[in-house]
Amino acid sequence: MENKVQLITYIDRFSCRNINELHQQLLREELKPLFSGVHLLPFFYPIDRADAGFDPIDHRKVDPRLGTWEDIKALSRDVDVMADLIVNHVSAESQQFLDYLEKGESSPFADMFLTYRKIFPQGATDEDLLKIYRPRPGFPFSRFQFKDGTERFVWTTFTSNQIDIDVNSEPGKAYLESILDTFQDAGIRMIRLDAAGYAIKLPGTSCFMIDQTFSFIEALTQKARERDMNVLVEIHSHYKTQISIAEKVDYIYDFALPVLVLDTLFHKNATNLKKWLRMSPRNAFTVLDTHDGIGIVDVASEQGEAGLIDDKDIDHIVRKIHENSGEESKKATGAAASNLDLYQVNCTYFDALGRDENSYLIARAIQFFSPGIPQVYYMGLFAGSNDMKLLEKTNVGRDINRHYYTANEVDESLRKPIVRNLRKLIEFRNSHPAFNGEFEIVDGENDELKLNWSKGDEFTQLFVDLNNMQMSINYSSPNGEQNLDLI
């Protein structure tokens, strides 16, 4: 995976009806210099169930409305393609789970699923159940009736349509490896392990990122590497957990960065951001926005362990996002809408900054100068605003940041000055050799941020004056030191 900016997008929300049209979009003059790779959000069959493709009926089949594996392979010849390996669960409508409901314990897939009795054969105490880490309210079980009339509680971490897999069972292992084989054949270069933190369930534990989870992730990463694929692990958790995971995998997300950048810009103080950048994992993918919300847990305290930002300051940041978005984010966050988790604020990053173009470009510059490979979400690429109509239609909180762009909207967005400036920043990040060198935080006042990259005689520096909200980018060139001019 090249150290250049990557795109994250849904195929059908980028003004494209299918994979081939997205392929052509990425090759157009305005976009071709921007992205060396693309993370295709779930394109498996089907893409339109409860969780926008993260609950596939058949993970090894491309939704025919989008194309085929051959189309994915063709795309992979021009850009590096990343796909999601949905580790934790399958759809309740999957062939495997339907067979289990039909045949019960005589099904060849019976061991693939986790029932309450399988995890707690002697029953569970209140303490056992309260220990389980939850991304949403309630207990992680759903009641299902089998063909013989019996009923059982089955483990469902997220929704009742997402049935958790026993990843240590033989059919569970075979299922995950078959997906890896399918990806390898399609030319996919990297996989993102989705919801991997919830994969291992042991009684008496939190069932989230326990020691056995680390072992599972390491083993699955090795299987991917044997197929010439790198692994990006998606975990929302305390920052120390992120650092521990990073030591064991190819890449991890820097989910702390989005809130730390907001903290820096809202409070005009870079202290917390500088502290993090001095210790953040270097094998990271940096983001400001994704298909999920803006994660709060990644910077917060946990069980008495201090976070990266004081909890009272986090509360102020959340309130400021709501204020900046005209309270739109409040309507999409937590219990206000249908949400799989309550620890994220649903809002476009542009709206979180009050649609202030200068602040938005400063935020992107900080992202591009932070250690790691930058990813830009399609909504962020276009400096998109909250889609309140889609939110109203679906009542799914995350849909506020999952707009379906038309071809005209894409063309209009690419002409906007803020997007033209962002494109210029992306091209600079992709082309300057200093970004493949050494990173340095230059000491300075709390209301200043100076980030340097250098490689031999090549250098570039980002300077942000937070009080006046001004930035400059200096860099080496064959014609001497230059300043990056934005429109």
Domains 6-87+169-436 and 95-163 share a fold: no
Binding site: which residues? Answer: 51, 89, 192-194, 234, 291-292, 341-344, 398
Per DSSP, the residues of 32-65 read TTT-SEEEE---EEPSSSTTTTSS-SEEEEE-TT
Per DSSP, the residues of 301-330 read -BTTB--SS-HHHHHHHHHHHHHHTTTHHH
Q: Which of 194, 254, 263, 289 is catalytic?
A: 194
Cα→Cα distances 363→138, 194, 277, Å: 36, 26, 15
Q: What span, in angstroms and rounded, lies between the C-alpha atoms of 42 and 24? A: 19
CATH topology for the 6-87+169-436 domain: TIM Barrel (3.20.20)
Partnered with residue 81 across adjacent β-strands are 38
The SS3 assignment for 254 reads strand
Let me know: does 104 contact 110? Beta carbons within 8 Å.
yes
Task: Locate 291 and state its tokens.
Answer: 């298909």
Considering only CA atoms, which of 349, 230, 364 is closest in space to residue 286?
Answer: 364
The segments of the chain whose pLDDT lies below 50 read: 340
Binding site for substrate: which residues? Answer: 51, 89, 192-194, 234, 291-292, 341-344, 398
Per CATH, the number for 95-163 is 3.90.400.10
Let me know: does 152 contact 107? Beta carbons within 8 Å.
no
Supply the pTM of this predicted model.
0.94
Q: How far is CA 398 from the centre of its chain?
A: 12
- Please, which residues have CB within 8 angstroms of residue 283's CB and are 6 or more apart in sequence? 246, 249, 250, 251, 252, 372
Cα→Cα distances 160→90, 130, 151, 152, 164, Å: 11, 19, 14, 13, 10
Let me know: does 35 contact 7? Beta carbons within 8 Å.
yes
Q: Which of 234, 254, 328, 351 is catalytic?
A: 234
For 16, how many CA atoms within 13 A lie in the half-sphere containing its CB? Answer: 19
- Annotated active-site residue 211? The verdict is no
Q: What span, in angstroms and rounded, lies between the C-alpha atoms of 418 and 123? A: 58
The SS3 assignment for 84 reads strand
Cα→Cα distances 422→48, 335, 426, Å: 31, 34, 6
User: Domain map of the chain by residue range?
Assistant: 6-87+169-436, 95-163, 439-483
Q: Is 72 exposed, middle or buried (0-12, 13-18, 19+ CB in 10 A)?
A: buried
- Virtual torsion, Cα 328, 331, 334, 336, nearest 10 deg: 180
- Name the helix (H) or strand (E) containing 358: helix 357-369
Helix H segments across 257-310? Answer: 257-267, 271-279
Q: What span, in angstroms and rounded, lies between the C-alpha atoms of 425 and 245? A: 30
pLDDT at res. 235: 87
Sign of CA dihedral 417, 421, 423, 427: positive
Q: What span, in angstroms and rounded, lies between the C-alpha atoms of 485 and 143? A: 60
For 213, how many CA atoms within 13 A lie in the half-sphere containing its CB? Answer: 23
- Token pair 């250690």: residue: 371
Q: What span, in angstroms and rounded, lies between the C-alpha atoms of 49 and 1? A: 31
- Range 274-295 burial, b when 16+ CB lie within 10 A, else e: bebbeebbebbbbbbbbbbbbb
- Annotated active-site residue 440? The verdict is no
Cis peptide before 171 (omega within 30 of 0): no
Per DSSP, the residues of 465-486 read ETTTTEEEEEE--TTS-EE---
- Count CB neighbours of 311 within 10 A: 13
3-state secondary structure 101-167: HHHHHHCCCHHHECEHHHHCCCCCCHHHHHHCCCCCCCCCEEEEECCCCCEEEEECCCCCCEEEECC
